[in-house]
Amino acid sequence: MAGDQDGLFFVIEGIDGCGKSTQIKQLGEYFRLKGRQVHVTCEPTDGHVGVLIRKMLSGEVKVDQRTIATLFAADRTDHLMNEENGIRNKVDKGQVVLCDRYYFSSYAYHAQHVDMDWVIRVNSMNAEILKPDATLFIDVDPDTCFKRLQRGRAHLEMYEKIDIMNQVRLSYFEAFERLKDQETVRVIDGNGEIEQVQKRIRKAVDEIMALTLKKV
């Protein structure tokens, strides 16, 4: 049925360990049950730039923070525009695209090292190409996230330290405030059972769809 329906682009954001990947899968099911064609994707991507970024995050390749911020923006442009499975094209064709992280991740994470306005400027072309219908921020206590990560991983990546996670969370809120006139953002309480959090996400999505008058 894709084609007769409005394409949708929802982004799930949150600090590491907040449960984004579980929640995004379940949100995908929600749209599929409504008969929609759904594409679930994430950033960094598994394309050429994304693979390089992963090496930098793991410490395998040393890098300047401005370089990594610029690479994330380039990975995003490729994610939007590449001919094979670019997001822009899918949304234009009426699909529902759900993305685990997008430019607010850049604003929050890279602001630890470089000026946030600079990161916003570096991503301005991406914002012109495609703004999310909404960004859903899953807000979970950083202590809880940190404990989950410690349980699941042998060693943690560049940003997976408790003080950084606290700072990143605050930077997300700073970015939401700075861009409140340009972006639709919903903060979802991400503490509690998975099902409970998913219910909150679906409620927020329904509300946004009603507001934007988009057809489910």
Give the binding site for ligand TYD (CB under 6 A): 16, 43-44, 57, 72, 100-101, 105-106, 109, 157, 159
Taking the C-alpha atoms of residue 12 and residue 25, their distance in angstroms, rounded to an integer, is: 11
Tokens for 42, please give them.
Answer: 């994430």
Taking the C-alpha atoms of residue 201 and residue 19, their distance in angstroms, rounded to an integer, is: 12
Nearest CB to ligand TYD, comparing residues 31 and 109: 109
Min dist CB 22 to ligand TYD, Å, is 12
Min dist CB 2 to ligand TYD, Å, is 26
Min dist CB 100 to ligand TYD, Å, is 6
Nearest CB to ligand TYD, comparing residues 7 and 50: 50
Taking the C-alpha atoms of residue 96 and residue 58, their distance in angstroms, rounded to an integer, is: 31
Nearest CB to ligand TYD, comparing residues 36 and 76: 76
Min dist CB 80 to ligand TYD, Å, is 13
Min dist CB 20 to ligand TYD, Å, is 7
Residue 79 burial class via C-beta count within 10 angstroms: exposed 0-12, middle 13-18, buried 19 and up: buried
Contacts of 28 (CB under 8 A, 6+ apart): 38, 40, 96, 98
Taking the C-alpha atoms of residue 142 and residue 42, their distance in angstroms, rounded to an integer, is: 21
Radius of gyration of the chain measured on its C-alpha atoms:
17
Give, as one character, the DSSP assignment of residue 15.
S
Nearest CB to ligand TYD, comparing residues 106 and 198: 106
Nearest CB to ligand TYD, comparing residues 44 and 132: 44
Min dist CB 176 to ligand TYD, Å, is 15
Residue 161 burial class via C-beta count within 10 angstroms: exposed 0-12, middle 13-18, buried 19 and up: middle
Nearest CB to ligand TYD, comparing residues 7 and 19: 19
Q: Which residue is nearest to ligand TYD (CB)?
A: 109
